[in-house]
Structure 1
Amino acid sequence: MNDKNKQIDIRDVTGAVPSHRPTDEGHIYVRSQKGQWQRLRKLMGWFFMLLFVVGPWLSWDGRQAILLDVEHQRFHIFATTIWPQDLTLLALLLMVAAFGLFFITTFLGRVWCGYLCPQTVWTFLFIWFEEKFEGSANKRKQLDKSPFNFNKIWRKGAKHTAWLAISLFTGFTFIAYFVPVEELAMGLLTFSTSFWVGFWVLFFAFCTYGNAGWMRTIMCTHMCPYSRFQSAMFDKDTYTVSYDVERGEQRGPRSRKADPKQLGLGDCIDCDLCVQVCPAGIDIRDGLQYECINCGACVDACDQTMERMGYPKGLISYTTEHKLRHKETHVARPKLIGYGIVMVAMLAAFAYMASSIMPMGIEVIRDRNQLYRETNEGMVENTYTLKILNKTLAEETYLLAVEGMAEVEWIGPSEVTLKAGEVLSLPISLSADPYLLSSPVKDITFVLSRKGVDPSDGKALLHTESKFFSAR
């Protein structure tokens, strides 16, 4: 990097693929690993996967709690219903998520990728089934090289059947956030669902099967933009999975009882377990690489090796470049504080706007054919179309009025009843005596109020400005 004082050094290891890497023609055979970081990763993965699965089945006031109803252009999120007029909320939510990701990445590196990203969670789930049906990494490699026989066919068949079942269930669950889950389930079971609903279920099932079963790290290294621009957020105080070169080199095998200092060796015994357990197939000892997803598998593998050898843990650990160089790590630094402030500000704006969503909406459209017309009685008349929206899930009655002109006459209904979610186009006219008007253009305000609701309630009245034109 150009700015040596701020950015962390990234080594180019292109082409430096060691012969011991657990790959075969591009396929990575990931070795199973246990440890504290893998327990944390699995716990977080299962927790958020459970939320994903349970989400469509939650109910709120007799309806699906989370339903992004694109067909009817409304998003139900528990007690809040978001309409197209309120899509600014979704933009703010995406901005909160973006700055939250920047904040976490600057502080803890790519922990999102290693612990929460659906690509990683589903990939490790698929690898778990792969291990159950085909065995350990070495057995899987041998099985792939063996000729087709009954043993290979049933193991491969069982694995892919499990993958397809998970993929179909994932596709069903994802679409259930857009189509009522009970309607979707019944439609799929009776083969009565529409073509497009069935298509999207199969499409996302295919994506899950392809991404988690076949592409895996290809998605992370070649298709996900995050792996490419993440280094812009790293600095020398970012916690990343790193190898302590000073302590580990020179590497080399030795007996447990041997003194590495007498042999001129560091603590790394060159067992290569850190490479074998890596889902990206990289060697963390080559330095920081964009393929690393900070999952901590190599940390657990190395700690267990150090424990067996009687050496201190932490040869590979979550640490900062400053700490590796025996300098002080600064957690509260300007960039991190800046990301945090923007994230909190966006979150506050989102909370405020979410709490201020009006349960109704009104849009005023003037007659575009003429500004005004004169009636046979000599009155000046302006025509408007009021689009009134009931955003609630119950029938509502609304009262209509106009402010700003005491001399105006309302021509049309002043009280309307709308069903839940209904949009009403209501043509009305305003009439006034031109001799009572002081100017050719008057500012007016249309007022929409909920009948039977206290006017002091902040969500009882809605004002929309417009203009009244005349010749005077």
Structure 2
Amino acid sequence: MTERIKIKEIKTSTQSNVDRYNPSNRIYVRAVYGLFQKLRRYTGWGLIILFLALPMIRWNGHQAVLFDIAKQQYHIFNMTLFPQDLTLLAWIFIIAAFALFFITTYLGRVWCGYTCPQTVWTFIFIWFEERFEGTANKRKRLDQMPWSFNKIWRKAAKHTGWIIVSLLTGLAFSSYFVPVDELYFDFITFNGGFATTASILFFATITYANAGWMRSIVCTHMCPYARFQSTMFDKDTYIVGYDTTRGEKRGPRRRKADPKELGLGDCVDCDLCVQVCPTGIDIRDGLQYECINCGACIDACDETMVKMGYEKGLISYTSEQKLAGKETHVMRPKIIGYGLMLLVMIGMFITNIINLSSAELEIVRDRTALYRENSEGLIENTYTLKILNKTIETQTYDLSFSGLQDAQLIGPKKIVIKSGEILTQPISIAVDAYDMKEKKVMITIKLTSSTGDVEEIEQQSPFFTGS
């Protein structure tokens, strides 16, 4: 082949001296305010409050959300799940995957920019930096200064804040698996078990390292999502994009100067879009996998445009089609396919929840003998009932059976089972052999709620006579 593949050469900004591909280089993110940063801030705080508050909520006398691994019980408000119900977890993962595909195809990496825990916690940690060490330029100068009392106390205060947030994160995460009533008290009083304490410290360390030190390295070097997102993008996907037609040729100028007379575009080359970017890229170089669609560069550029008296939107949420002067197609086969699959998965998940039983009944026959003749001359079959109460309350069931005429139940007629308890109850069913015409009859054993609060449970099992 003699044809050469066309290569687009991208030159990085000369104003940013940070090599973003070198993990050892630190990015000093400049604070920016605007519509999208306000939206991101409110979204982040809302998710954090939800994360912290869910384990604190009481529901019918117990923790609303608790995944008790030791007891193999998973409480989610009014629903208690057991290991055999964890197929629901698979449905949740499938729904999350298709939701991610759908949103990414439509709006790009908005998950990364607005709701990803790495992003949310990173900006919390940056907030502590700004409060104790100042703006981005002040933080950079402080790091270059020799150690002094001023530098030591500021660094110590910042890291203390980081450690407190990290420990609270570890405690909040662990409270989904350990009852919150005892978790915080045991940790503060140093009475927690080894496994619980180790898990808290582990997640605290991970939070401290990821949000405090690695930050964008997680996004650019560790997160797989940035690598495979290109398979979901197309030219109609909404991305953060720079309008080169309007912005070029870029260059500085006085506020009242006419850019057309100077042969310039609207971009004043202030480099603010680079300084506010959490991953340190220059959006003017085009679409890059490091971009997390956070909109920080949009707010920074809009602020500059307002000051210069230009129209906003030089950097905006747009698509490659729109940047090329074409129409963006929202409804397209890929996004319709993802949307339909998402609806199907949600429907199947809801169906599984609706069909989820409040109790389970397993019948185990006596394995030593198919039947026996008791002292009254009746043919008797012995069964062991294993009953699991999957509700959050103690349940009373009436025990009965059908399928045999003139037969009697030997055992309790009422069964009381505590929440989450697996009760093993032996019973026998006896019948006069004279009334039996067949060697084997299928019977149905039923459990009916005495209060009628839960549905009837029934299971079939064979009854042998030997006749």
TM-score normalised by L of structure 1: 0.88
Cα offset for 1:193? 1.5
1:137 Cα deviation after fit: 1.4
- Give, as a single letter, the amino acid of the residue that structure 2 aligns with 1:21: S
Instruction: State the distance in 2 between where 1:441 and 1:232 align.
Output: 60
* Mapping of residues 251-330 of structure 1, within 5 Å: 251-330=250-329
Q: Is residue 456 of structure 2 the alignment partner of residue 461 of structure 1?
A: yes
CA shift for structure 1 position 105: 1.3
Shift of 1:436: 6.2
What's the counterpart of residue 372 of structure 1? 370
**Deviation of 1:308 (Å):** 1.8
The answer to whether the aligner puts 1:30 opposite 2:25 as a matched pair is no
Q: How much has 1:11 moved relative to structure 2?
A: 7.2
Structure 2 residue identity aligned to 1:413: P
1:265-308, Cα deviation, whole Å (9 max, x unpaired): 22222221111100011111111111111000001111111222
- Higher mean C-alpha deviation, range 255-264 or range 33-42: 255-264
Q: CA deviation at 1:108?
A: 0.9
Cα gap change, 1:236/1:467 in structure 2, threshold over 3 Å: closer, same or farther?
A: farther
> Residue 138 of structure 1: CA displacement?
1.7
For 2:222 and 2:212, locate their aligned partners in 1 and report how far apart those are by CA, in whole Å.
16
Q: Distance in 1 between matches of 2:319 and 2:369?
A: 68
Preserved CA contact (<8 Å) 1:302 1:316: yes
Partner residue in 2 for 1:46: 45
Name the amino acid aligned to 2:459.
T
Q: State how far apart, in whole Å, the 2-side matches of 1:355 and 1:250 are.
A: 61
Shift of 1:469: 5.3
Q: Which residue of 1 aligns with 2:3?
A: none
Q: CA deviation at 1:98?
A: 2.2
Corresponding position of 2:148:
149
Query: How far 1:389 sits from its partner (Å)?
Result: 1.2
User: 1:235 maps to which residue?
Assistant: 234
- Measured at CA, do residues 384 and 376 of structure 1 come closer, stay the same or move farther in structure 2, by a change above 3 Å? closer
SS in 2 for 1:397: strand
Alignment of 1:321-470 (within 5 A): 321-367=320-366, 369=367, 372-375=370-373, 382-406=381-405, 410-430=409-429, 442-453=441-452, 459-468=454-463
Could you tell me how far 1:415 is from its partner in structure 2? 2.8
Change (3 A) 1:471 1:262: farther
Q: Report SS of the residue matched to 1:28.
A: coil
Aligned to 1:96: 95
CA contact under 8 A between 1:60 and 1:78: conserved in structure 2? yes
Counterpart in the other structure of 1:5: none
TM-superposed deviation, 1:126: 0.5
When residues 386 and 249 of structure 1 are mapped into structure 2, their CA distance, relative to the original with a 3 A threshold, is same
d(CA) in 1 for partners of 2:191 and 2:314? 58
Q: Which runs of 5+ in 1 are unaligned?
A: 1-9
Paired AA for residue 64 in structure 2: A
Amino acid at match of 1:372: L
Aligned-residue CA RMSD (Å) = 2.6
Mean CA deviation greater in 156-165 or 245-254: 245-254
Change (3 A) 1:436 1:247: farther
Cα separation, partners in 2 of 1:23 and 1:156, compared to 1, 3 Å: farther
d(CA) in 2 for partners of 1:68, 1:379: 48
The answer as to whether partners of 1:448 and 1:462 remain within 8 angstroms in 2 is yes
Q: Counterpart of 2:370 in structure 1: which amino acid?
A: Y
**Aligned partners of 1:382, 1:215: CA distance in 2, in Å?**
67
Q: Is the 8 A contact 1:22 1:276 kept in 2?
A: no
Q: Which runs of 5+ in 2 are unaligned?
A: 1-6
Q: Which moved more, 1:157-166 or 1:88-97?
A: 88-97
Specify the SS of the correspondent of 2:210: helix
One-letter amino acid matched to 2:293: N
* Cα distance in 2, alignment partners of residues 423 and 11 from structure 1: 66
Q: d(CA) in 1 for partners of 2:83 and 2:129? A: 44
- 1:12/1:344 Cα in 2 relative to 1: closer, same or farther (>3 Å)? farther
2:15 counterpart (16, 20, 32): 20
Q: Which amino acid in 1 is paired with 2:68?
A: D
- Tell me how far 1:175 sits from its aligned partner: 1.2
Describe the superposition over 1:107-164 as per-residue Cα deviations: whole angstroms up to 9, x where unpaired.
1111111111111011011011111111221221222222222222111111111100
Distance 1:441 1:237, change over 3 A: farther
Cα 1:464–1:22 change in 2 (3 A) is: farther
Could you tell me how far apart the structure 1 residues matched to 2:274 and 2:283 are? 7
SS at 1:262's partner residue?
Answer: helix
Cα distance in 2, alignment partners of residues 196 and 111 from structure 1? 36
Structure 1 residues 327 and 17 mapped into 2: Cα distance closer, same or farther (>3 Å)? closer
Letter in 2 for 1:395: T
Q: Which amino acid aligns with 1:316?
A: I
* Percent of matched pairs sharing the same residue: 56
TM-score (norm 2): 0.89
Partners of 1:94 and 1:86 lie apart in 2 by 14
Give the superposition deviation at 1:452. 3.6
Instruction: Give per-residue Cα distances to partners, 1:362-416, cap 9 Å, x unaligned.
Output: 122344x467245478876554332101223332222233334447654443432
Could you say if the C-alpha distance between residues 444 and 231 of structure 1 is closer, same or farther in structure 2, counting changes exceeding 3 Å? Answer: farther
- Report the Cα distance in structure 2 between the residues aligned to 1:104 and 1:354, rounded to whole angstroms: 25
CA spacing shift, 1:12–1:200, aligned 2, 3 Å: farther
Tell me how far apart the structure 2 counterparts of residues 419 and 87 of structure 1 sit (CA, whole Å).
21
Question: Partner residue of 1:183?
Answer: 182
Deviation at 1:40, TM superposition (A): 0.9
1:129 match: 128
> Where does residue 171 of structure 1 map in the other structure?
170
